[in-house]
Structure 1
């Protein structure tokens, strides 16, 4: 990968961490110290003082002896919000600044999908580690089973991550395909963001009606749309 691609990947992962870590994640929660003034001599574990905890949150005592460490997973609601916060800037770049070279440069990198992939995998793991969801998933081949599965917030959040990532992938293709064919894509991108397949259909109709030389794509000119970084930008410039 190019230096630019690696840089974009680092930025994407930092953005992902920034969305999640300050809000809900508490990786380790060590047993609270005995009652009394907080200090090293009053606690059996000095690491307890370094444990991040929101100011408004009261210490929770372990439910049984020996329960020194608890892992608190990020809630489905937080992951839902993180997906939205990560997607909105990218959609805004494509819709509001389609001619901007900086917007094109950002969208040309596949690294933009890393936060969404990470969120989806995390969603999936946290969903199916719950016994009640695993049981519901065993009958998802029927509509009633699927409805039962989607009665759990964690499953809905996982599905939302799935849709956000794939809608953005289609939106990115529309963005560069519109540049290649010199057709407007604002309405198509908005429709894709909100209604998925309807936006894709709108773009396909738009390029048939408005493209002066006929639609260009990988089938007609042999240039794939999955390129990244400077190769993709060079393709746009050449057209």
Structure 2
């Protein structure tokens, strides 16, 4: 498999989805498109690759069998071209999902887009750090923990 090509395509596609999320109007059709066409397509790509990769049907570039039970096993998996690519697609799909939730929740509670964009950037680049920034922002504005963390 051409892991570099798969990486480049999925990475650029995810970046396009993030730009749409950050700057396009959040009309229902756009949000639905981001959910299914962005998150769904990335998750589907991951699903199409992960099973054949883990079962050895496609060559991921690792000589060791997949092992998620030890740090050494995870390091070996992620150090191979296939493992790194599929791991990255995993991050892309989940981070976009979280970013979409943050954006929709922030819209619901009236946070201006100029305030959302830096938080979305942190969700894109640092995942959980961006999410905690948003949760802290929600908590400081509304002072309700449950309301700040419950997805809708």
| Superposition TM-score tier, normalisation by shorter sequence | 0.7 to 0.9
Q: Distance in 2 between matches of 1:127 and 1:83?
A: 17
What does residue 130 of structure 2 align with? 199
Backbone CA RMSD of aligned residues: 2.6
- Structure 2 counterpart of 1:85: 12
- 1:166 is matched with 94
Q: Structure 1 CA distance, aligned partners of 2:135 and 2:47?
A: 31
Greater length-normalized contact order (CA 8 Å, ≥ 6 residues apart): 2
Residue 73 of structure 2 corresponds to which residue in structure 1? Answer: 145
What are the ranges of 5 or more consecutive residues in structure 1 without an aligned counterpart? 1-73, 226-239
Distance 1:191 1:132 in 2: 31
Q: CA deviation at 1:155?
A: 0.7
Report if aligned partners of 1:192, 1:199 keep a CA contact under 8 Å in 2: yes
In the superposition, the TM-score normalised over structure 2's length comes to: 0.79
1:180 corresponds to which residue? Answer: 108
Task: Provide the secondary structure at the position in 2 that maps to 1:140.
Answer: coil
- Superposition map of 1:8-47 within 5 A: none
TM norm structure 1: 0.52
Counting matched residue pairs gives 143
Aligned partners of 1:90 and 1:107 also within 8 Å: no
- Which protein has the bigger helix share? 2
Distance 2:90 2:69 in 1: 18
Aligned position for 2:36: 111
Question: Structure 1 residue 83: deviation in Å?
Answer: 1.2
Unaligned stretches of 5+ residues in structure 2: none
How far the C-alpha of 1:192 sits from its partner, in A, is 0.2
- Using the alignment, how far apart are the partners of 1:77 and 1:147 within structure 2? 19
CA shift digits 1:148-196 (9 cap, x unpaired): 2222100110101111000000000000000111123112100000000
Give the C-alpha shift of residue 214 in structure 1. Answer: 5.5
Query: Structure 1 residues 217, 202: closer, same or farther in 2, change over 3 A?
Result: closer
Per the TM alignment, residue 147 of structure 1 is displaced from its structure 2 partner at its CA by: 1.5
**Structure whose alpha-carbon radius of gyration is higher:** 1
